[in-house]
Amino acid sequence: MQAEHARHLIDQLQTHGALVGETFELDAARYRSQAWFERELPLFGLPRIVATSSAIAPGSCMPAGSALLVRDAVGTLRAFANACRHRGTRLVDKPCATKAFVCPYHGWTYGLDGTLLHVPHADAFAGAELGRDLMPLPVTERHGFVWLGRDVAAHVGELAPDLAALGAEQLVTFRSSVTPRRCNWKFLVEAFLDGYHIRTLHRDSIYRFFLDAQSLAEPVGHHIRAVTARRALRDGVAGEPRDLVTPSLFVFPATTIVEHPDFVSVLTAHARGPERTDFEHLMLVPAARAAETEHWQKSWDLIEAVVFQREDQWVCEEMQLGLDAGLATMLFGKLEHGVRWFHDSIEALTASSADTPAASR
């Protein structure tokens, strides 16, 4: 986040506190209904961060969800659907360096530009195989990140300076994970939109670093920038914004970037169904300090294994189970103001539907 934006939020937090807006309720169907899920699916066609530019060197490739990212020898980045055009077999399951993609099922072979190069026993297809190059996907590099989708600049809008301030060009991926969870994707987004839960949920992990219920956010178009107060802010310690607060950026619809004191977490919820989500975490560290593996491993063990896995993601599944008990609505208070903006953006960007209930306000 830009320092000026962080300092503005810090001043607002110290002057006016964290209570913003009004209480509100949301219909529980938003987190369970197939109709709601289908209504929201177009949101996942919006541009999304899938990797850092530094993660893909010339001549290398990597899977990113259902996409395949590849950079050729001269540095051109392309993205394709990670599926053979014959029977749909996934071509790449881990980062690699290669000169061609060979399908592990029948041996169809593709160049790094996606062109179909070879089909074993091509006479069996009588020309039907011609033109079946890999399916291209729109991809853009911006602010040191790789984005899937079109019109990235327009989508990012006024959040662009905050993303640029991350300096992702100087960051590399230390570890990454993808975890399937039995919960709605919005629960995972909302987990990072308030500081109200820190004292209780994170009591035994990171609460010792933070002030409870001292988090302030502001909307930036459909995105959100926020700061969560660290104990140094109460103690009057002088320093840079990251010494006093933990800034975060929410990139609509489903990515949260957390700026820890010396590394960055990129967290994305990939919706797979009304109650099924894959949660992805990229831990990015300064390239100049990448060799400090023992230090970064300790951070990974705390943030990934404990905070994100055993606390944030665990409680999202517990909320989904709570809905199974018949809860009709969910109540939000003034300390959860970012969640209201998030749902307002969902409503603004999805078409109305007669079979999806309106929010209870």
145 within a domain of the structure (yes/no): no
Confidence of residue 277 (pLDDT cuts 50, 70, 90): very high
Q: Kindly state the helix (H) or strand (E) to which residue 180 belongs, with its residue range.
A: strand 171-181
State whether 269 and 328 are in the same domain. yes
84 within a domain of the structure (yes/no): yes
State whether 317 and 170 are in the same domain. yes
Q: What is the CATH number of the domain that holds 130?
A: 2.102.10.10
Q: Out of 109, 140, 171, pick the residue that ends a domain.
A: 140
Residue that has been written with the tokens 């990140």 in this structure: 145
State whether 297 and 271 are in the same domain. yes
Domain count, the chain: 2
State whether 217 and 247 are in the same domain. yes
Mean pLDDT of 12-31: 93
Which phi and psi (to 5°) does residue 233 adopt?
-65, -40
State whether 300 and 270 are in the same domain. yes
323 within a domain of the structure (yes/no): yes
The pLDDT of residue 40: 96
DSSP string, 217-282: EEEETTEEEEEEEEHHHHTT----HHHHEEEEEEETTTEEEEE-SS-EEEEEEEEEETTEEEEEEE
Token pair for residue 351? 């078409």
216 within a domain of the structure (yes/no): yes
Q: What percent of the chain has pLDDT over 90?
A: 90
125 within a domain of the structure (yes/no): yes
State whether 189 and 317 are in the same domain. yes
Q: What is the CATH number of the domain that holds 323?
A: 3.90.380.10
State whether 282 and 331 are in the same domain. yes
SS3 assignment, position 310: helix
pLDDT, tens only, 198-232 = 999 999 999 999 999 999 999 999 999 999 999 98
pLDDT, tens only, 2-13 = 999 999 999 999
pLDDT, tens only, 304-313 = 999 999 999 9
State whether 181 and 114 are in the same domain. no
- Which residues have a Cβ under 8 Å from the Cβ of 204 and sit 6 or more positions away? none
